[in-house]
Structure 1
Amino acid sequence: MSNNERDRTTDDTAPISYDATTHGKEILTPAASDVPQINGATVFGVRPGKPVFYRIASSGQKPITYDAEGLPPGMSVDRSTGWITGRAPETPGDHEIILHAANSKGAASRTLTLKTGNTVCLTPPMGWNSWYVQSEGVSEQAIRDMAGAMEEKGLDQFGWTYINIDDCWMGERDPETKAIQANSKFSDMKALSEFVNSKGFKLGIYSTTWMSTFAGFIGGTGPNPEGDYRQYYLPQNEILNPSQFFGRHPSSTKRGIAQVGPCWFIDKDAAQFADWGIDYVKYDWVEGKLIVSENGDYARDKNSGANKTEAVTSRFFNDFRSLDRDIVISLSPCTPPEEDELTSKYCNLWRLTGDIKSEWAHLTRPFSDELTARYPRTRPGLFGDLDMLQIGPLGKPNRAEKVFVPSPLTPAEQYFQVTLWCILTQPLLLSCNISTMDAFDLNLVKNSEVVAVNQDPLVKQGYRIENSTGNYEIWAKDLFDGSKALAFFNVSDRDRTLTISSDKLGKKGKVRDLWRQKDIGVLNGTMTVQVNAHGTAFFKVIGS
């Protein structure tokens, strides 16, 4: 124990001075104990009478035996897998369930609140998406391999839940049902979903309300009632991947089919997804036609009804909510601020920004005035989405990638993004090659105390305490147990010393370093923290 640590244990009024700097790929997260610890969300939403599908996430030495006390009638727990299944009560209300996990080293218990009502996805979804790592190369075998890797790396033990197939999986429509079917790289979607479940995860999928996806595959609407798109197909010798009929982006935009078509098949697709066992959908959605912009990307055609209309958006939403299955709904691409009120009524997540890149400028844009004004809409079941985490081995979108390179972000910047996404109550979606994640990468995603801030059941949005544009940001977040999360962000190019007072924070109490999982003193005055350039420090203040 250092002298200043010893002094703080006897004098609660002594200022805290703390060095939170990191050095290269320094691993801050302590190794998880062999004794069970139940992690992840402590609250789960389900609509009355709908199927319940919740897994107890516990770290600790395997094998682990699971149990649950207080389950409503019609629900049960699989003691070997931790899956809680059955039907929710028909009457809205809260049900307190005591979860248990035990192994040869010990046991753990924790309360789960099952909320039966109209809101699902009560805390930000956590999982993985194929876009930045597989893109055009996505296949059934690739998803099976990823599910196996996520289980082998232990991500299921810390609340990581969804394995989401992004664009490039579609084939053609079934001639009888008109529902979209998978292309030749997927042999059995229902069996794939069951396999993903057996590894401790849920399966998600992507589509669009347009006739063509961004990547050139068949979308959720069509040009005719038969679901026949052949008039828009490229010549066979120009089709790069199985069923990529319309060509790689921006081909479909140039061909005028990146827009909602005259014939609606989304209700049929939704029913097909439910039958396959899908629990999460991501939909690209802009009501109106896309055109190629001056920079070669896409833009809305202002002459074709660029604004979303409530009638069409609600139709899409109700197609999914009419199912006998709760499916998380994520809307993309980004929407302007003036559409937030409409968009947020018909989804669980909606994109606030364009696609993220693993560049420093993309990590600091969440501090912009436009975005900070939009965050307060966050509440249980609704999250403005800043896009995916740029950590771990990454590929390149819009190709069948097989080469993965470490994130271009520095280690300090990777801590920065995870911390910022947690205090901003963001969806946590990886899009990296899980099987080659190293110890540093895993330390970023397997810190139970950091993840707990993101998954806190109060679901409050983080808020700015103090900032100096281009230099630093200090943010806080109110937590369910009465404590506060406190994050320092150094957005400058040099190391900085940052200070906060208990008066400015509005909180006194014990201070815990969340990344290092250790107590550092008592805040009852000032706290001064040394932070790397492009780095962060993340704390929890517990007390009055």
Structure 2
Amino acid sequence: MNKFIICIAFACTAIFSPPLCAQQKILLPEARFKTGNDLSWKEKDLNDSQWTTIRTDRIWENQGFSSYDGYAWYRIHFYLPSSLIEKSYLKDSICFNLSKIDDADETYLNGTLIGKTGSFPESSSGYQSYYDVLRNYKISVKNSALKWDQENVLAIRVYDGSSSGGIYEGTPYISNIDLIDYVTLQQSAVKNNYTVTLKNSSHVFVKGRLTIKVLDTEQENDKTIKEISENINLQAFGQKTNTLNIPVNKRACLMASFVESHTGKVKELEIATPYILTPSSPATPKINGAKVFGVRPQSPFLFRIPATGKKPLHYAISNLPAGLSLDEETGIITGSLSESGDYKMKFIVTNSLGKAERDFTVKVGDLLATTPPMGWNSWNCWGLSVTEDKVKSSAQSLLDKGLADHGWTYINIDDSWENGERASSGDILANEKFPDMKALGDWLHQKGLRFGIYSSPGTKTCGNYLGSYQHEKQDASTYANWGVDYLKYDWCSYGDVFAQENDNSTSAYMKPYQVMEKALRDQKRDIVYSLCQYGMKDVWEWSAAVDGNCWRTTGDITDTWQSLKSIGFNQDKLYPFAKPGHWNDPDMLIVGRVGWGDNLHPTHLTPDEQYTHISLWSLLSSPLLIGCDISGMDDFTLSLLTNDEVIGVNQDPLGKQAKRLLEKGDWQVWAKELEDGSYAVGIFNLGDKTDTTEINWSELGLPAATNVRDLWRQKELNVKGNLFRTKVASHGVTLVKLER
């Protein structure tokens, strides 16, 4: 029986359909694997016994081939029984379902090409990536390449242009094409109205029974809240639709199944619908975000007080130090402070309904990024297609949608802003997509936002634009003149320089980052320094020594559960290195509409996986950089990013990273000590089924709670003592605070 788990966007219309392959399967869970590009490797009789054996449901970077880009081959040996088609109503075709392949592939059966998606660099059309496309290659049962009742070899030539590579997101399989495969169950959503469409794409009549259920899955036992069950007779190319309204404030599951009458085969659809846990912000004033901010003496100071409440708001500061000034209408603080030390003050925000106060400390010294940076980065959204207009759109939306009122402040331009050549003086120039970088920086600063930019210590960036190699001082000076507040410095082509120097010492890995560190230090402006070199040479052990404020610990993340799981839950040994001013960075956020180019799509994470993503990154004290198009952000995504109690875990001034206290089967428990002596605790279910667990706090070394608070729902659970019982969705989380 096929089961398709589909992730949907909340406030936009999206249609998904399952792959065209039936239910009698030959699973292909493993392959022999080799990097390189030799076309003779497609032949059936090639001796591949010495090749590496890897799994076919995950990228090769997670299987010992980290940071490998380029060509590689998979060879899958399988026996093809003629019984595969005996129970079929239709007996003319079989399908090779190869899941998704990052980026382009050619697939050969016993040496014969049977399918191709994307194109390779040497092709006439040039390299084209189709990493997000399902590979379903259909051939006739009479195709001479098939060896019935014999061993066959499927050889898959893959080219990966960058980041993750290989087959991923599901185990490949072979199946017959039957009548049920011409029937699709599709789903579309407009806000909380869900339409299920049953469609017959064949030229023959199809009949069967359709059942649709909506389950409330928040309680201990799932409860059916809506159900439709009816006999269906579909004409050739006909369809039937049903629309249901599903509440947005509770976790629900939409399930649909169609049983085809001739064979009894089933097509199923299951959707975990987006559900909003974050309460609406009160109309009375509320001050959010970080409680501490670091700046160097005499550096330009910029801070926007993040506050919610009915507009207009009025801002005031008690004990505002000399050298700083406040715009009482916008809450933007500017100026500079000359003397080192801690400057304690009180923010005061009022409106027609009340007043809020909060203590705040400015630490003037040598420490920047006293809490993890929060903001937006263009890469996961626009990739190399970013433009000034797109940057401004997300920046304005950060304000208009209220994200800045919760502490989101950086607007970071990733790769592809650079001109093809430097000025005659050697100065770096922006290309035609960014006509005036200084004006853009000024525009952002006027709105209380901070300006981030991207470069590489190599001659070229990862997108093949100009890097900073041997121009570090000039580039740092240019960035400062533009008003840059954040630099992401990506290893990329520095690997070529590194290889030529033939030095594998830690000092050699530090060298390019030390050069830029000194250049940044010479500027009369604070620039947060983000090292991006994918965790090589245990960067967390030495990044602080080169003034690194944050450092990537892994390769690039993608919007899949496998990527999120393999990156996020492998940060457990890094907690000793996280502290104020220095943060482990497991990469940017993958919620909302992403795409790494012009063709955006809703994240492939389920709603529960998105709650896990934000919860875990908050516990890890990771930088929080939104990676989606903010202008098109839906209500569900907005709710994920505006929960001040969850953000408060990330921005806690103590600056500790969570430790993993339990790893047992599919369960993990992570706990982070907070400034007030309480603990934020994430209880994660990494399994494929919703389940209930009971946690004994004392067995994990945690204090008995005087109260347990649900951080996503922002409510007390009235649970005390050592025992805590919770139901957690598949790939989901319960995030609580143990108050003492």
Normalising by the residue count of structure 2, what TM-score does the alignment of the two structures yield?
A: 0.61
Q: SS where residue 68 of structure 1 aligns?
A: strand
Structure 1 position 85 matched with structure 2 position 338 = no
- The SS at the match of 1:389 is coil
In the aligned structure 2, how far is the partner of 1:313 from the partner of 1:461?
24
- Contact 2:698–2:722 (Cα < 8 Å) also in 1: yes
Distance across 2 between alignment mates of 1:164 and 1:525:
44
- Counterpart of 2:535? 335
Of 473, 480, 505 in structure 1, the residue corresponding to residue 668 of structure 2 is 473
Aligned match for 1:198, one of 427, 443, 446: 446
Letter in 2 for 1:474: V
Is the Cα–Cα contact under 8 Å of residues 172 and 180 in structure 1 kept in the other structure? no
User: What residue is the counterpart of 1:121 in the other structure?
Assistant: 369
| Counterpart position of 2:577 | 377
Corresponding residue SS for 1:170: coil
Q: Partner residue of 1:275?
A: 481
Match of 2:520 among 320, 323, 329: 320
The corresponding residue for 1:232 is: none
Q: Equivalent residues in 2 for 1:449-460 (5 A)?
A: 449-460=645-656
The CA deviation at 1:323 is 1.1
* Secondary structure at the counterpart of residue 373 of structure 1: helix
Pairing 1:415-434 to 2, within 5 Å after superposition: 415-434=611-630
Structure number with greater Rg is 2
SS in 2 for 1:171: coil
What's the counterpart of residue 139 of structure 1?
A: 387
Q: 1:198 to 1:367 in 2, by over 3 A?
A: closer
**Letter of the 1:117 counterpart:** G
Superposition deviation, residue 287 in structure 1: 8.8
The one of 44, 47, 53 aligned to 2:296: 47
Quote the Cα distance in structure 2 between the aligned partners of 1:330 and 1:500.
Answer: 37
Query: How far has the Cα of 1:159 moved from its partner?
Result: 0.3
Structure 1 residues 89, 368: CA separation in 2 closer, same or farther (over 3 Å shift)?
Answer: same
Per-residue CA deviations over 1:151-190 (Å, capped at 9, x if unaligned) read 1111100000101000000015553542211101112111
Kept in 2: contact 1:513–1:538 (CA 8 A): yes
RMSD: 2.1
**How far does residue 80 in structure 1 lie from its aligned partner after superposition?**
1.4
SS in 1 for 2:719: strand
Q: Tell me the equivalent position of 2:711.
A: 514
507 and 424 in structure 1: CA distance in 2 versus 1, 3 angstrom threshold = farther
- Find the counterpart in structure 2 of residue 72 from structure 1: 321
1:309 CA drift (Å): 4.6
Higher relative contact order (CA 8 A, sep 6+): 1
Give the corresponding residue for 2:686.
491
- The DSSP-based 3-state class of the residue aligned with 1:374 is helix
Unmatched tracts of structure 1, length 5 or more: 1-16, 222-263, 292-299
- Whole-Å Cα distance in 2 between the matches of residues 51 and 339 of structure 1? 29
- Please list the CA deviations of residues 37-70 of structure 1 after superposition, one character each: whole Å capped at 9, or x if unmatched: 1111000011122221111010112221111121
Corresponding letter in the other structure for 2:670: W
> Can you list the C-alpha shifts for 1:314-373, whole angstroms capped at 9, x where unaligned?
22111112211111111113023544322332210111000001111122224656x321
1:413 — aligned with what? Answer: 609
Within 5 Å, give how 1:140-539 maps onto structure 2: 140-172=388-420, 174-221=422-469, 264-285=470-491, 288-290=494-496, 301=499, 304-307=502-505, 308-346=508-546, 347-366=548-567, 371-395=571-595, 397=596, 399=597, 401=598, 403-469=599-665, 471-504=666-699, 505-539=702-736
> How far did residue 290 of structure 1 move?
4.1
Tell me how far apart the structure 2 counterparts of residues 339 and 465 of structure 1 sit (CA, whole Å): 24
Structure 1 position 56 matched with structure 2 position 252:
no
Question: Could you say if the C-alpha distance between residues 284 and 79 of structure 1 is closer, same or farther in structure 2, counting changes exceeding 3 Å?
Answer: same
Q: Displacement, 1:141?
A: 1.4
Q: Is the 8 A contact 2:457 2:512 kept in 1?
A: no
| TM-score of the aligned structures, taking structure 1 as reference length | 0.83
- Number of positions where the alignment pairs a residue of Structure 1 with one of Structure 2: 470
- Distance apart, 1:129 and its partner CA: 0.6
Relative distance call for 1:69 and 1:174 in structure 2 (3 A) is farther
2: CA distance, partners of 1:49 / 1:423: 33
How big is the shift at 1:81?
1.5
2:251 is aligned with 1:22: yes
Tell me how far apart the structure 1 counterparts of residues 681 and 645 of structure 2 sit (CA, whole Å): 13
Deviation, structure 1 residue 107: 1.6
Does the CA contact (< 8 Å) of 2:513 and 2:531 recur in 1? no
Asked if the contact 1:490–1:535 (Cα under 8 Å) also holds between the matched residues in 2, the reply is: yes
1:484 and 1:542 in contact (8 A); partners too:
yes
Q: Which deviations, in whole Å up to 9, do the C-alpha atoms of 1:430-451 show, x marking residues without a partner? A: 1101111111111100101110
Cα distance between partner residues in 2 of 1:389 and 1:105: 35
Contact 2:704 2:722 in 1 (8 A): no
Report which of the two has the higher share of strand: 2
- Sequence identity of aligned pairs in percent? 39
Structure 2 residues not aligned, in runs of 5+: 1-217, 222-249, 253-272
Name the amino acid aligned to 1:345: A
Moved more, 448-457 or 20-29: 20-29
- Answer whether contact 2:303 2:448 (CA < 8 A) is retained: no
Q: Residue type matched to 1:389 in 2?
A: L
* Amino acid across the alignment from 1:521: N
Q: Is the 8 A contact 1:422 1:450 kept in 2?
A: yes
